[in-house]
Amino acid sequence: MKIRIGTRGSKLALWQAHYISDLLKKGGVVTEVITIETTGDKILDVSIAKIGSKGVFTEEIEAQLALGTIDIAVHSAKDLQSVLPDAFELIAFTKREGANDIILSHKKNISLNDNLVLGTSSTRRIAFLKHLYPHIKTVPVRGNLQTRIRKMEEGACDALMLAYAGAHRMGFDNMIIQKLSTDEFIPAVGQGSVAIECSTSLDIDKKNKVRALTNNIEAETCLLAERAYLRELEGGCSIPVFALATLENEKVSLTGGIISLNGKEVIKHTTTSTTAAPAMSGHNLAEIVLKNGGDKILKEIKEQIK
């Protein structure tokens, strides 16, 4: 059996694709990695939130899935839109790396208590910084991780605010100044996991083989809960929603919510469900968040980003 793997062309995306490739090879599968440029890779001078496409990192790859030129697509789970087009499905989630946000810098003696300029284009991270550390300024810094680090070192900012998983996978642990608590900076849905997407028409034997060799059931359970919440709120790259699920004693505990763009209003709650029905915690969380003011925040955000 041969599996053709589609991916973006950044070093991190290729790391993820080859990670999946190695897992498949251990199971006797022949693989080929095929790189595809996406809208998010082409447009680097504006924030993702302003590009306006829900599938900014996935549309071109999904086109190749539909054509059958690739069998599966490998994504950072946090980059996936809340609802996939009808012809596609997610069949696996890898074991989760640390889901934390981090502060990364070439300057060693800095902290969030300083008057820093942080590079980030994430509406969620910007909103949380305004809420928790209002003295900090932010500037948009886009591009792959290596490009962002170069821009930082050239003076665009003092530090970058990023996902731990990407920095760790690229070997930049020595530049991590602080790993931020997920109690304060609750991450984006799916942060830290790699997701595998395919066409619903993909050969069932290939689907089953990929799933058997790559899926981590604990990560999948957590992400099904988180993505159910994201789906209810119709969250995309421009909407600062957040959620993180954990497992304990056959229960899924899901903490998440929404934060206004100016950081002044935060709606946050926790729900639980059984591991047999993880999506229930996501549905329940969405209902609680929306009823407790999240609907108002969501409406205001959508009006502001039109």
CA distance linking residue 303 with residue 9, whole number of Å: 34
Determine phi and psi for 194, rounding to 5 degrees: -105, 130
CA distance linking residue 43 with residue 47, whole number of Å: 9
**Quick one: 11 exposed, middle or buried, by C-beta within 10 A (0-12, 13-18, 19+)?**
middle
CA distance linking residue 232 with residue 143, whole number of Å: 30
Residue with tokens 């729900």: 271
**22 included as an active-site residue:** no
Determine phi and psi for 274, rounding to 5 degrees: -80, 155
Active-site annotation holder among 41, 71, 79, 101? 79
Of 84, 80, 92, 73, the closest CA to residue 4 belongs to 73
Active centre residues (catalytic)? 79
